[in-house]
Structure formats: C-alpha cells, structure tokens
Amino acid sequence: MSARILDGKALAQELRAEAAAQIAELRTQIDRPPTIAVVQVGDDPAATRYVRSIDRLCQSLGAACRAIALPAETAQADLEATVATLSADDRIDGILLQLPLPAGLTLDGVLSRLAPEKDLDGIHPINAGLLAQGRPTLTPNTPAGGIELIQRYGIEIRGRRAAVVGRSAIVGRPMALLLLQADATVTICHSRTTDLGAVLRECDIIAAAAGRPGLITADMVKPGATVIDFGTNVLADGSMVGDVDFAAVAEVAGAITPVPGGTGPVTNVMLMRNLITATRTRLGI
Ligand code: NDP
C-alpha cells in the first residue's frame, strides 16, 4: 500500500481534547453545561445506540445531553410542537433530530419550527443557504469532518480539482460547498453522471458519498489523489465497507480514509464543535 492513511480515530481523539478545553472555558462563562437536545421518534435500535453515544460523548467532554424519545406514532403537530418548545428553551443550546423520521412525518414542517441557531446538523434552510452563499455557520457534521481530515493532514485544497460523488443535502452537496469555500474547483457527480471515472481521474481530491460499495475503483483515481470515503455500507457478512475499493485504490492514491475508522469517528466530534459554536453565537460570548 502506498497511500497515507488518514486516521479518523486519531484525529477524533485530538478534536475531542480541543472540544473539552473549549467547553470547560464556556462553562466558566455560563452557569451550566452547554446542552444538546436529541429528539428521537420511534425506537430504531441504531438510532437508540447513536443517541447513547452522543450522551456518552457529551458527558466525557463536560457538555449535557437531554434525550427526548417520542413514540413512532407521534403526530406531525406534536413533533413540531416539541421542536418549537426546545427552540424557545433558553437552557437548550443545540437540537439534533434523529433522521430519517418514521413514515408519515415530514422534515420540512419540523425544520420550520427549528431555531436555525440551534440546528446542530446544519440542515435548516437558513444554514444551508448561508453555506451556499459562502458564509458557513453551522455546517453538516459529516462533510465538516471530511474537510477537517484533509486540512489536519496538511493536504492543500486551494486551487486543486475536487469531485464529490453524491449530492444529498446532508453529505454530498455541503461537502462540495465546503471544498469550494476552501478554494477548490469542484465537480458534483451523481447517479446520472456519465463516465464517472473520466471525471474523477482529473481530480486531486475525491469525496465519495454515494452509499454504493466498491463504486470507486483504482482505475478512476489519479495517482497521488486524496480519497475521502464517507460511505458506510454493511455487507451480507456484517462487515462495513465504504464506497471505495480500499485495497486497490490505496495502491494508487496519495492519501485515503479507511472504513471504518476514517470519516465516521470525526463526525460526532464535529457535532460538539457545532454545539460550541451554537452556544457562543446565541449567547454572544
Ligand atoms: P443518499 O442516498 O441520500 O445520497 C446518495 C447520493 O449518491 C445521491 O446523490 C445519488 O445520486 C448518488 N449516487 C448513488 N449511486 C450512484 C452512482 N452509482 N454513481 C454516482 N452517484 C451515485 O445518501 P447520503 O448522502 O445520506 O449518504 C451517503 C453515504 O454516506 C451513505 O453510505 C451513508 O451511510 C454515508 N454516511 C456517512 C456518514 C459518516 O459519518 N461517515 C454520515 C452520513 C452518511 P442521485 O442524487 O442522482 O440519486
């Protein structure tokens, strides 16, 4: 293997220490821990595990987490009322809504009741709009973590050609905008892109967020390119792989994130960074 491994676990540890220090400083300025409200509708086990992991992370960093569990049959109006109440609650600094919502509930109505300054996922149209205008504030955590990995490993983004595979509102699209913000020349690819390989071979940075195991093969990658793999695909044998054919691409790329252990571990810490930003911005400190 020739590529440098961009170790998300190691970076996450570093970022956690930084976040803990910032939260400790915040706690000297406010009389309580910065607090996240996590809203979960239904009892999907993966979502429940995720909420627990956020709670543990908050505790370990000196923040607080208030978990709000609503039954799967919650009415749209009740969910919206819960989010509106949390948005108005002065002791809640950030709100995280577990997605996807159960069938029958729509995100748009909920987002209209979410205070944009507490939107820790960066999915409120105001935050998405600010990012699109090049004025990022609260940005989606997964792509923010991808940028952090590239920058912390000292890889230049400015002036480089970059491609993002995937255009979802939560990963691909904001990743493209964050790369643009960092002065890359960016192409966004999706399921209708013709000849994906021809586009990717021109790029110095490839970010894969398609949710398709093995989509990015070695022949699509320019020698020396940086490859960021957001994909998390669980195979029939229970193992987890990304969108990139890791073993083969690692022979060609200059730097690559593994799956697991790449972008995943960084994502949650970026959530804490958004909590710190949200708390400071809202309280003007
Ligand atoms: P979505 O399913 O919402 O979006 C997938 C995107 O990939 C779409 O834009 C789709 O195109 C595009 N796509 C699908 N197939 C192809 C293809 N063959 N060629 C090119 N583009 C393709 O997924 P998400 O954005 O929510 O998630 C993407 C991946 O990232 C998933 O594996 C998910 O599990 C993972 N993820 C990882 C996180 C982390 O922390 N590492 C956090 C969140 C997600 P089109 O728009 O045309 O349909």
pLDDT at 259: 98
In 3D space, the residue among 252, 246, 251 whose CA is nearest the CA of residue 231 turns out to be 246
pLDDT at 253: 98
Nearest CA to ligand 1 atom 6: 166
pLDDT at 54: 96
79-89: per-residue pLDDT in tens?
A: 999 999 999 99
**Residue 282 falls within a domain, yes or no?**
no
Q: Are 53 and 159 members of one domain?
A: no
44-85: per-residue pLDDT in tens?
A: 999 999 999 999 999 999 999 999 999 999 999 999 999 999
Residue 141, pLDDT above cutoff 80:
yes
Q: Are 114 and 145 members of one domain?
A: no
Nearest CA to ligand 1 atom 16: 191
- The ligand 1 atom at the shortest distance from the C-alpha of residue 231 is 32
Spacing, Cα 88 to ligand 1 middle (Å):
33
Q: Which two tokens stand for residue 142?
A: 């997964």
* Mutation test residue for ligand 1: of 96, 147, 165, 191, the one with most atoms within 8 Å of CB: 191
**Cα(211)–Cα(234) distance, integer angstroms:** 10
Spacing, Cα 166 to ligand 1 middle (Å):
5
- The ligand 1 atom at the shortest distance from the C-alpha of residue 212 is 15
**Residue 111 falls within a domain, yes or no?**
yes
Q: Are 153 and 259 members of one domain?
A: yes
Q: Are 145 and 113 members of one domain?
A: no
Rg, the chain, Cα only: 19
pLDDT at 111: 98
Q: How many domains does the chain have?
A: 2
Cα torsion at 211, 214, 220, 225 (round to 10°)? 70
pLDDT at 263: 98
Q: Are 202 and 240 members of one domain?
A: yes
* Residue span of the structural domain in which 259 resides: 141-263
Spacing, Cα 209 to ligand 1 middle (Å):
4
Query: What residues line ligand 1, using a CB cutoff of 6 Å?
Result: 142, 165-168, 170-172, 189-193, 196, 209-212, 215, 230-233, 263-264, 267
3-state secondary structure the chain: CCCEECCHHHHHHHHHHHHHHHHHHHHHHCCCCCEEEEEEECCCHHHHHHHHHHHHHHHHHCCEEEEEEECCCCCHHHHHHHHHHHHHCCCCCEEEECCCCCCCCCHHHHHCCCCHHHECCCCCHHHHHHHHCCCCCCCCHHHHHHHHHHHHCCCCCCCCEEEEECCCCCCHHHHHHHHHHCCCEEEEECCCCCCHHHHHCCCCEEEECCCCCCCECHHHCCCCCEEEECCCEECCCCCEECCECHHHHCCCCCEECCCCCCHHHHHHHHHHHHHHHHHHHHHCC
Q: Are 155 and 58 members of one domain?
A: no
pLDDT at 144: 98
State the average pLDDT for the chain. Answer: 97
Q: Of 118, 133, 157, which closes a domain?
A: 118
Give this prediction's pTM: 0.97
Contact 196, 220 (CB under 8 A): yes
256-267: per-residue pLDDT in tens?
A: 999 999 999 999
Residue with tokens 């991808």: 146
Nearest CA to ligand 1 atom 35: 231
Nearest CA to ligand 1 atom 39: 264
Of residues 205 and 1, more confidently modeled: 205
CATH number of the domain to which 193 belongs = 3.40.50.720
Q: Are 218 and 104 members of one domain?
A: no
Tally of CB atoms within 10 A around 192:
6
- The ligand 1 atom at the shortest distance from the C-alpha of residue 243 is 32
pLDDT at 73: 96
**Residue 52 falls within a domain, yes or no?**
yes
Spacing, Cα 34 to ligand 1 middle (Å):
32
Residue 99, pLDDT above cutoff 80:
yes
Sorted by sequence, the CB contacts under 8 Å of residue 9 that are 6+ apart come out as: 261, 265
Q: Are 156 and 104 members of one domain?
A: no
pLDDT at 19: 98
The mean pLDDT of 208-233, rounded to a whole number, is 98
In 3D space, the residue among 36, 159, 24 whose CA is nearest the CA of residue 92 turns out to be 36
Q: Are 156 and 49 members of one domain?
A: no
pLDDT at 69: 97
Spacing, Cα 124 to ligand 1 middle (Å):
19
**Residue 22 falls within a domain, yes or no?**
no
Q: Of 118, 151, 174, which closes a domain?
A: 118
Q: Are 199 and 98 members of one domain?
A: no
pLDDT at 223: 98
CATH number of the domain to which 37 belongs = 3.40.50.10860
Q: Are 107 and 173 members of one domain?
A: no
**Residue 100 falls within a domain, yes or no?**
yes
**Residue 125 falls within a domain, yes or no?**
no
* Mutation test residue for ligand 1: of 9, 96, 168, the one with most atoms within 8 Å of CB: 168
**Residue 25 falls within a domain, yes or no?**
no
Spacing, Cα 252 to ligand 1 middle (Å):
23
**Residue 81 falls within a domain, yes or no?**
yes
Strands 226-229 and 255-256: parallel
Residue 1, pLDDT above cutoff 90:
no
Q: Are 157 and 61 members of one domain?
A: no
Nearest CA to ligand 1 atom 37: 230
pLDDT at 183: 98
